[in-house]
Amino acid sequence: MIGAGAAEAKNFKIAVGDSAGSAQEATGKAFVAALEEKSGGEHTATLFLNGQLGSEEVTVNDAAMGTLDMSLLAINNITPYSPTVGVFSLPYVILSLEDAEALTQGPIGAELTENTIRDAGVRIVAWTYTGFRVLTNSKKPVTSVADLQGLVVRVPKNEIMIDTYKAWGINPTPMAWSETFTALQQQVVDGQDNPYLTVSAMKFYEVQKYITNIRYIFSIEPLIISESLFQDLSAEDQQMILDAGMEATKASAQFLRESEAAIRDDLIAKGMEISDPENGEEEFIKLATEAVWPKFYDSIGGVEKLNAVLETLGREPVQQ
């Protein structure tokens, strides 16, 4: 950051895990535009795409230490530092963009933001909505849990996601995001899961053939700011950051609504084949929720926290 205090112009550095064309970039651009508008051009920010400032996991720690201003990253990379946000990564909890908006922009999102400040020394100021993490692979169409067997699938270094695949009968390969494309290209791994927007932005169509429309996780990717930096700002600048973050959040939802279908069609045009899980994904859902949800009740703050989420979404609570 250049300068300190309310009187000096600032240019915040924002680490972005994904590349140009991604939902993360769209959120970042919307945040920069809103910040410039609200500050009358006094403050701005620069996006450093494609992990230029380090892996997503590393940037959380850098922001916590105050050596990085901001980072845009997948929420599963915050979970090791602040486990309660893992409730958003539990399989089949969020079933639509509207679910994601209701949770992140309401009391539950506010509580999880406070938890990340307490646990990780970073503050969530905006939310990116990237869509469901569809499964891609280079070997075969996958429509059932049986089809998954034998595939080597990359996952983030996130226990919830690792255990979900284990519930489906395979041992996934935890791997940093920055290493994933090369691993797919060299066939060290057969597949991975990420939203359509990310599959397109990262050009996975060059190294993957098949997509399965699983919807076990709706990808939420927050914009975080170093809490020590945030507290050094004037009250006016703090409010500008928060207001710009809210505008970026709403812009992200609009970006997803407007672009996902066209991106899916473009991936088909580029030669990818898309399949739906059989029987409405019933087997995937049953195995994942029965095995994974109970294992993480304690880390997310208790089963009552999951039930608060389900209640917000108008769904039945878990019975203990």
User: Could you tell me the pTM of the whole model?
Assistant: 0.92
Query: In the 3-class helix/strand/coil scheme, how is 150-200 assigned residue by residue?
Result: CCCEEECCCHHHHHHHHHCCCCCEECCHHHHHHHHHCCCCCEEEECHHHHH
Provide the pLDDT confidence category of residue 7 given band limits of 50, 70 and 90. Answer: low
Calpha distance 255→81 (Å, rounded): 29
Give the distance from CA 297 to its chain's centroid.
21
pLDDT for the residue numbered 2: 41
pLDDT for the residue numbered 3: 40
Question: Mean pLDDT, to the nearest integer, of 49-59?
Answer: 93
Provide the pLDDT confidence category of residue 42 given band limits of 50, 70 and 90. Answer: very high
What are 214-269's pLDDT values in tens digits? 999 999 999 999 999 999 999 999 999 999 999 999 999 999 999 999 999 999 99
What are 264-284's pLDDT values in tens digits? 999 999 999 999 999 999 999
Calpha distance 101→99 (Å, rounded): 5
pLDDT for the residue numbered 74: 92
Give the distance from CA 151 to its chain's centroid.
24
3-state secondary structure of 46: strand
Query: In the 3-class helix/strand/coil scheme, how is 64-117 assigned residue by residue?
Result: HHCCCCEEECCHHHCCCCCHHHHHHHCCCCCCCHHHHHHHHCCHHHHHHHHHHH
pLDDT for the residue numbered 319: 84
What are 211-225's pLDDT values in tens digits? 999 999 999 999 999
Going by C-alpha positions, the residue among 78, 69, 80, 57 that lies closest to residue 31 is 69
Q: Provide the mean pLDDT of the chain.
A: 95
The angle that helices 303-312 and 97-104 make with each other, rounded to 10 degrees, is: 120
Count of other CB atoms within 10 angstroms of residue 278 = 14
Going by C-alpha positions, the residue among 170, 191, 167 that lies closest to residue 180 is 191
Calpha distance 318→40 (Å, rounded): 49
Calpha distance 177→154 (Å, rounded): 9
Calpha distance 9→298 (Å, rounded): 44
pLDDT at 5 over 80: no
Stronger pLDDT, 5 or 294, i.e. the higher one: 294
Contact criterion met (CB below 8 Å) for 26 and 256: no
pLDDT at 287 over 60: yes
| Helical (H) or strand (E) element with 15 | strand 11-16
CA Rg, the chain, in Å?
Answer: 19
Question: Mean pLDDT, to the nearest integer, of 78-104?
Answer: 96
Q: How far apart are the first and last CA of the chain?
A: 49
pLDDT for the residue numbered 6: 44
Provide the pLDDT confidence category of residue 122 given band limits of 50, 70 and 90. Answer: very high
Spatial neighbors of 114 by CB under 8 A, at least 6 apart, are none
Provide the pLDDT confidence category of residue 191 given band limits of 50, 70 and 90. Answer: very high
